[in-house]
Amino acid sequence: MQLVAIGPAWLRSTFGVRQHRARMKKLMPISFVCLALVSGCAHDPLSRGADGTRLAPGHGDVGRFILQKSIHYGCIPIRTNSLPEISTAWYYKEAHSTNRKHMLVVLSEGCFPTIVAFLHEAFGQPSIVPEDTGHGGIYGEYIFGMEHAYGQESPWIEFTCVGDRTQVDISALIKKRKELR
């Protein structure tokens, strides 16, 4: 039985096979880099904060997440059951400084009416009803407790729509503990 070589003559020759392998060794890394650039570097513009920091992708009902974090920060809802589910792409970042804890949730621009309705159902009438900022955005706020106006410990929720994004900013000042002597 005789083996029949299939393929072009240059590939069948020993020199041709080596030359082909050498070309492939050069092309493979370039192919992987191109593939990584095309697929891996594309990101959702909402996945970055306004200052360019990276936000973590959220999963599940963003309304439930906002409610849970708000309660954790000390906000007092008027309703926690039977709230509408908000299923959309969203991102978040939690940050703490020496005097403030802060949770930022970012969604697409089209989610603003849904977020406003959800917050209204969960927390009632906002302290600052959503209004035009005069700079192309919309701003509203919930303030829990009068102390916030005087710089004391009181949580608040700001919700805005600016450009291509809806943002919910949950914040609270951190109570300073008195040292025991």
**Are 34 and 54 in the same domain?**
no
Residue predicted with more confidence, 31 or 105: 105
Q: How far apart are CA 181 and CA 164, in angstroms?
A: 52
**Are 25 and 103 in the same domain?**
no
Residue 95 belongs to what domain range? 45-173
Read off the pLDDT of residues 76-110 as tens digits, 9 standing for 90 and up: 999 999 999 999 999 999 988 877 889 999 998 88
**Are 82 and 152 in the same domain?**
yes
**Quick one: DSSP state of residue 64?**
H
Contact assessment for residue 66 and residue 117, using Cβ atoms and an 8 Å cutoff: no
**Are 72 and 23 in the same domain?**
no
Read off the pLDDT of residues 124-155 as tens digits, 9 standing for 90 and up: 999 999 999 888 899 999 988 755 444 556 79
Q: How far apart are CA 76 and CA 144, in angstroms?
A: 7
**Are 35 and 122 in the same domain?**
no
Q: How far apart are CA 85 and CA 157, in angstroms?
A: 19
**Tokens standing for 40?**
């891996």
pTM of the model: 0.69
Read off the pLDDT of residues 51-71 as tens digits, 9 standing for 90 and up: 778 999 999 999 999 999 999
**Are 115 and 167 in the same domain?**
yes
What sign for the dihedral angle of Cα 26, 28, 33, 38?
positive
**Are 14 and 59 in the same domain?**
no
Q: Which of 161, 79, 71 is nearest to 122 (CA)?
A: 79
How many domains, the chain? Answer: 2
Q: How far apart are CA 10 and CA 8, in angstroms?
A: 6
**Are 35 and 49 in the same domain?**
no
**Are 95 and 121 in the same domain?**
yes
Does 1 reside within a domain? no
